[in-house]
Structure 1
Amino acid sequence: MKIAILGTRGIPNNHGGFEQFAEYFSVYLASKNHDVYVYNSHDHPFQKKNFKGVHLIHCYDPESKVGTVGQFIYDLNCILDARKRNFDVILQLGYTSNSIWYKLLPKKPVIITNMDGMEWKRSKYSAQVQKFLKYAEKLAVRSSDFLISDSIGIQDYISKKYHRESEFIAYGASVFKNPDDDVLTKYNVGANKYCILIARLEPENNIATIVEGYHKSETPHSLIIFGGLNDFGEKLQKKYSNDTRIQFVGANYNQEELNNLRFFSKYYFHGHSVGGTNPSLLEAMASNTLIIANNNIFNKSILEENAYYFDNSDDIRSMMNNESLFSQKGNFATNNIKKVEDLYHWDIINAAYEKYILKKIK
């Protein structure tokens, strides 16, 4: 088939979860002799026209100049280009800024949309923006031929809210098998003597809750926080600047380095509260780490009993002060790795996507 993947900044990934998925899935499809195209921002660091057999189409993206509204222009440019390509399938990852252009989507290809999470719940958005996102979600459901949900929670929501079926296919991960503790010297930490958090620094990811609880605890260990320093992150960094344990170190897309840091950490914090199966959660599960996650349906449906859960900063403080919790690392980590191997391995996820798409275009 000739398939296009829209809705990301592009590949190879240097941004987030959808980009990670687009990279793995597109390369997989190319290896199966499909004709695959991924749309990239014009200013993506990777400027070649081919990546591991995947065709890259760079479209003008003014987001760096005009802010969020630039996403709408970028998505419009991608859709206009897609009208000229005679695709069999267009796979849209998310709907936030592309759904308003649905009338411009080409008529020939089957339109399949991964519905992402409940974007309108993100607390960083104003009431007006949240209202728009609900409308965009509705447009995406209405204009797509088929829908994919990355979690059971999202699948249930779409069924109850819109009375539409969606296929549950989670994200994927690969089990990390060759740890190397050399990276620890870069961050001046020792094995099991630090905690780690990897996330976009946004309110709905419970960054403030985690940092506050950590600050109030008596643990001597460092908390290393990976995420691009936006306004929200800079405010937190300033607020806790006197606590030398709390280290905001910026974004890092070196998967080998991050996997090693997860592997040797004492605890891995996952505060995401909006959306479906978050890729960073699966990567943590695949990296032999002990996870402390926000207590919500999305995280619990994946981790089940193999993690500790928090609702507020006092929970974080109590966990950090309770040394006995760490004794469960071997048990929880082993169960999570088996779950990745059995349910979420990239080979399984990629094959499920391919099978589903081929079924829908026959």
Structure 2
Amino acid sequence: MKLRIAILGTRGIPNYYGGFEHISEYVSAGLVKRGHEVTVYNSHNHPYSGDTWNGVKIKHCFDPEYLIGTAGQFVYDMNCLLDARKQKFDVVLIMGYTSSSVWGWMYPQKSTIITNMDGMEWKRSKYSKPVQNFLKYAERLAVQYSQYYISDSKVIQSYLADKYHISSSYIPYGAEVFTDQEREQLTPEDALKEDYFLLMARMEPENNIESILEGFNNSNSTKQFQVLGNTDNRFGKYITNKFERDARINFRGGIFDTPKVRQLQNNSYLYFHGHSVGGTNPSLLEAMASEALIAAHNNPFNKSVLNTDAFYFSDAADVRELIENVQRKDPETMMVKNNLNKIQDQFNWEKVIQQYEDFIVESHQSKNFSKVIPDLG
């Protein structure tokens, strides 16, 4: 069955921003290869200005975020929906709900509406209490106005079942195994094996960057610490200022060159993953696929992916202990191998794309337009 599918809710593809853009890249192109017609909505400010990308149609919609700040995201999502209402898509896949579910009453009535429910956005510490309350409201609206749901984490799947009594399909992100060809492309600078620690994250408080770097700062390590992430925002400037006197810490900015990132992950002595909110995180899967030894923040999201194949930390003191004591011997080698097996068996892109296609086709065939709205009180 060939379907006309639209993907909304991202800043666009190819990915220059984050998780939903990352998965939209792979899923959209994968669905096109399987014979579907796929359109992804892009911000008019997106660096890519073409009308197609790897067979995917690109719709550019006006995005005033650069003029009016966060409120512009709501206007952008509204503009995307207004256009989608005219296109007669069979299926509309909405990635997240933060600035789109308020327009739920505008969702195309004759399209099957599927929402990827994101990672409990209201728990993010960067948001004020009023914003957190709004995000809880937006989450309820996403439940109300969608017909089918995707969870990228089993933790989120359980949360939605408990909170709203709805079923959702668990479909994680994917990652590609670090290949021999990529290894051959290592530059001499990047090939210095295991002489540095690494973290890669958006500069946000809930990613525990401050705790990680505080622990390293207090340690007696002689290794370097490489930090990947754009530091132009308020928190990024705070972090760089706080640790500027530690010559061992190197803030390298945002790097979107995937082979380069994979090389850095593969070569690191220990990769720190501090994300504490959200579902299955793409950078974590890529680190696993790149055969990095991982230290992750101790929370259900990370543990549901890594299980016992990682070190865990809760604060700066834990980080310092790991920095000073973790070794690279047979048990650690087995942890790396087990995580690589998880990528090959559970989190490979072909399987993820197949799960998306199966769920999209099944949902459209069901055409559950008379869905009973759950009690959102």
TM-score between the two structures when normalised by the length of structure 2: 0.93
Q: 1:145 aligns with which of 134, 144, 147?
A: 147
Paired residues of 1:153 and 1:298 also in contact (CA < 8 A):
yes
Kindly report which structure 2 residues correspond to 1:256-271, keeping only aligned pairs within 5 A, or say none.
256-271=259-274
Instruction: Judge which range, 336-345 or 59-68, deviates more.
Output: 59-68
SS of 1:185 mapped into structure 2:
coil
How many pairs were matched up?
360
Shift of residue 181, structure 1, vs aligned partner? 6.8
Kindly report which structure 2 residues correspond to 1:89-104, keeping only aligned pairs within 5 A, or say none.
89-104=91-106
**Alpha carbons of 1:40 and 1:268: their partners in 2 closer, same or farther (altered >3 Å)?**
same
Distance 1:199 1:7 in 2: 21
Distance 2:158 2:139 in 1: 15
2:189 aligned with 1:185? yes
Shift of residue 182, structure 1, vs aligned partner? 3.6
Shift of residue 360, structure 1, vs aligned partner? 1.0
Shift of residue 184, structure 1, vs aligned partner? 5.6
Name the counterpart of 1:237: 240
Q: 2:346 aligns with which of 308, 331, 343?
A: 343
Instruction: Judge which range, 161-170 or 318-327, deviates more.
Output: 318-327
Distance 1:75 1:53 in 2: 23
Q: 1:133 aligns with which of 132, 135, 157?
A: 135
Shift of residue 325, structure 1, vs aligned partner? 5.7
Distance 2:184 2:301 in 1: 31
Shift of residue 231, structure 1, vs aligned partner? 1.0
Runs of 4+ in 1 over 4 A off after TM superposition: none
Name the counterpart of 1:111: 113
**Alpha carbons of 1:183 and 1:61: their partners in 2 closer, same or farther (altered >3 Å)?**
farther
Name the counterpart of 1:85: 87
Name the counterpart of 1:42: 44
- 1:63-111 CA-to-partner distances (Å, cap 9, x unmatched) read 1222111110100000000011000000000000000000111101000
Name the counterpart of 1:249: 252
**Alpha carbons of 1:228 and 1:175: their partners in 2 closer, same or farther (altered >3 Å)?**
same
TM-score between the two structures when normalised by the length of structure 1: 0.97
**Alpha carbons of 1:193 and 1:117: their partners in 2 closer, same or farther (altered >3 Å)?**
same
Distance 1:147 1:70 in 2: 26
Shift of residue 326, structure 1, vs aligned partner? 5.7
RMSD (Å) for aligned C-alpha atoms: 1.2
SS of 2:346 mapped into structure 1:
helix
- 1:182-211 CA-to-partner distances (Å, cap 9, x unmatched) read 44626xx82100011111010001011101
2:319 aligned with 1:316? yes
Distance 1:274 1:4 in 2: 27
Shift of residue 324, structure 1, vs aligned partner? 3.0
Contiguous gaps of at least 5 residues in structure 1: none
Name the counterpart of 1:63: 65
Name the counterpart of 1:294: 297
**Alpha carbons of 1:169 and 1:323: their partners in 2 closer, same or farther (altered >3 Å)?**
closer
